[in-house]
Amino acid sequence: MKRELLKWCVGAAAFMAPAMADAQKNLQVNVAAAKADIQPTMWGVFFEDINQGADGGIYAELVKNRSFEFFKPLMGWNITRKQFQEGDLIIMNRADKPANPRYLQATVKNAARGDLGLTNEGFKGMGIKNGLRYDFSVMYRQAAPGVKLYVELVDSLGKTYGGTAVDLSQAGQDWHTAKASFTANATVPKGRMRVWFEGNGVVDLDMISLFPSDTWKGRPGGMRADMIQMLADMKPGFVRFPGGCIVEGYDLDQRYQWKKTIGALEDRQLIINRWNFEFAHRPAPDYFQTFGLGFFEYFQLCEDIGAEPLPILNAGMACQFNTAELVPMEDLQPYIQDALDLVEFANGAVTTKWGAKRAELGHPEPFNLKFMGVGNENWGPQYVERLKVFTKAIKDKYPDIKLVNSSGTDPNGDRFDYLNTELRSMNADIIDEHYYRRPEWFLENARRYDNYPRTGPKVFAGEYAAQTDKVVSIHNKNSWQAALAEAAFMTGLERNADVVTMASYAPLFAHAEGWQWTPDMIWVDNLRAYGTPNYYVQQLYSLNKGNKVLPITLNKDVVAGQDSLYASAALDTKTKEVIVKVVNVSGKPQQVNLDLKGVKSLASQGKLFLLQSNDLNVVNSLEQPKNLAPVESSIAIKGKAVKMEAKPYSFSVVRVAYK
């Protein structure tokens, strides 16, 4: 037996009651005793630009380093020339555009196609689809017309797959934008884009861009539809954005500043992504944040998929694992102003400064922001000191906004205890808890919230994922073992929905070649995306949320590990269904009798959604995206009881209509 499986069994055994393992388990569900509400926000998603989540991920831009602002200005670009001419392609750095200082200047002399060109390698290549339209655009400036561009898609051997000429017809001191579209004539997983110069003259180029036309909702310059569809398919209650550690930044200069992420793309100042250099074992020297996706786009995404926006803002503190830079208290005001202005940007009337900005960007209606986080994984008295000032200022102006506060990096220990106590004494709205722990921890902590205070702050399980090896190990897998442990643990979140009002797995996305952190919920390459077993666990919870918690017991105790079983129950008062989730973390089948009390009658058939494998090491992959995925079947019901088999290593969701 492998080491991790042995540990798993030891962890699970800790919960085994001395009862006969194979006797029928009678789980009592009292449908008449609906307890707390399950909030619509209960199951959400955590988005961060890590693992190529945004640039090279959901942001569908195919060109890497489109504005030459990476530390190495030509990173991602290769020059092709027939004959070397001194100074034919140079990078200029202007003083009057601090947010976008660099551009490319091309001096072209009697060039024909094939003489002088630039090739962009994309983010680990460009995913090109046969028959799809591609939209090219470029900002240019020239004293006189004379240069033409020819843009084409190529593979690593230089074979072309479609292209078009691009006229640069405007002249003078100003910058202009040229656009051209063409259709690709083959599918190429790792294509590139080449731009040839033709003619004579000197031309300045910036913001060289290529987008597929099949973006989410067909928005030009938008998001990768297949990735967003996977989120929409979860019907998440909220989207937390933009992170994660990138909120804090390596230092304060590199913190996330939402105001720099809205408006014209060429004015959104690029910064290095802190995951560029965070892990020596996963260096990503070409990882920057272009902010092509910014706060406006994130709010719009939330609206598209019916999720509450949950922006997290910097609390005046850089990442405490990195520089731990602090803003002195007397300089905190601009940070607080950013928070106040964000509420106005999201909710303010179009007559307000920031509401007008929202309208100018195309969304006069408010985004209806209800939640906001101050600080991500911050800790210590310095956090509390800053948070108090933030809280007062925000609550004075916007008393209805619910604030999410950090309880640090871990779900226990001195830092957690200190913050938990402080935040509770401040009567915080919502405390954000993070747990990246081994699967056994998730099993052992299924009762974590059973004894939490029922009054005071609510809990946001803001980042969690079972680590099959250890945190930050490259060996962590999105295996069934991890997902099953999370499913077991989540019964405890649902059971305690009066305390836990929000939860999100983290991180969300990873590119198969561009990741820094594993495990992750959804993996992609340039053309494909797949959900891990963890994704399907999250999706099953979210799609089968219900709106009231029901008590479910085994021998009068909550079902949290006895004989390796975990269970929770909910009511959907709109569809008039009882929803029961049963997790069996043992390798043996168990006969379960769900005794539903307090109903007049049950439908004669219910639905069963089953996620199951006898192999705890099973994973999904790009080649086998649904190796493990839920299977729906019907379940016959007699009287007021549902008899089911909790299969070995299984997560079952049963839905039964009641009267």
Binding site for ligand AHR (CB under 6 A): 48, 50, 243-245, 376-377, 409, 463, 506-507, 517
- Of 162 and 236, which has the nearer Cβ to ligand AHR? 236
Which among 345, 158, 351 has a CA at the least distance from the CA of 263?
A: 345
Torsion angles phi and psi, residue 301, rounded to 5: -60, -45
Q: Which residues contact 78 (CB under 8 A, 6 or more apart)?
A: 118, 119, 121
Q: Is the dihedral of CA 27, 30, 31, 37 positive or negative?
A: negative
Q: Which residues contact 614 (CB under 8 A, 6 or more apart)?
A: 587, 648, 649
- Region of residue 316 (phi > 0: left; psi between -120 and 50: alpha; otherwise: beta): left
- CA-to-CA distance for 122 and 191, rounded, in angstroms? 8
- Of 54 and 506, which has the nearer Cβ to ligand AHR? 506
- CA-to-CA distance for 392 and 373, rounded, in angstroms? 14
| Distance in Å, CB of 437 to ligand AHR, minimum | 12
| Distance in Å, CB of 268 to ligand AHR, minimum | 21
Which among 581, 579, 599, 607 has a CA at the least distance from the CA of 639?
A: 599
Which is catalytic among the residues 344, 377, 422, 433? 377
| Distance in Å, CB of 233 to ligand AHR, minimum | 21
- Of 215 and 273, which has the nearer Cβ to ligand AHR? 273
- CA-to-CA distance for 155 and 158, rounded, in angstroms? 5
> b or e along 44-77 (b: 16 or more beta carbons within 10 Å of the residue's beta carbon)?
bbbbbbbbbbbbbbbbbbbbbbbbbbbeebeebb
| Distance in Å, CB of 245 to ligand AHR, minimum | 4
| Distance in Å, CB of 470 to ligand AHR, minimum | 14
| Distance in Å, CB of 460 to ligand AHR, minimum | 13
| Distance in Å, CB of 376 to ligand AHR, minimum | 5
Q: Which residues contact 606 (CB under 8 A, 6 or more apart)?
A: 634, 635, 637, 642, 654, 655, 656, 657
- Of 55 and 463, which has the nearer Cβ to ligand AHR? 463
Tokens 């009287």 sit at which residue?
639
- CA-to-CA distance for 525 and 547, rounded, in angstroms? 36
Is 61 catalytic? The answer is: no
- Of 45 and 230, which has the nearer Cβ to ligand AHR? 45
For residues 640 and 603, is the Cβ–Cβ distance under 8 A?
no
For residues 29 and 578, is the Cβ–Cβ distance under 8 A?
yes
- Of 140 and 517, which has the nearer Cβ to ligand AHR? 517
Task: Output the six-digit token pair for 72.
Answer: 């190495």
Which residue of this chain has its Cβ atom nearest to ligand AHR in the complex?
244
Strand order in the sheet with 548-550: 548-550, 565-572, 577-584, 650-657, 605-612, 631-636
| Distance in Å, CB of 272 to ligand AHR, minimum | 15
- Of 48 and 308, which has the nearer Cβ to ligand AHR? 48
Q: What is the dihedral of CA 4, 439, 226, 298, to 10 degrees?
A: -140
> b or e along 8-40 (b: 16 or more beta carbons within 10 Å of the residue's beta carbon)?
bbebbeebeeeeeeeeebebbbbbeebbbebbb
Chain CA centroid to CA 473, Å: 20
| Distance in Å, CB of 50 to ligand AHR, minimum | 6
- Of 162 and 244, which has the nearer Cβ to ligand AHR? 244
- Of 201 and 507, which has the nearer Cβ to ligand AHR? 507
DSSP code at position 37: B
Cβ atoms within 10 Å, residue 385: 14
Active site residues: 377
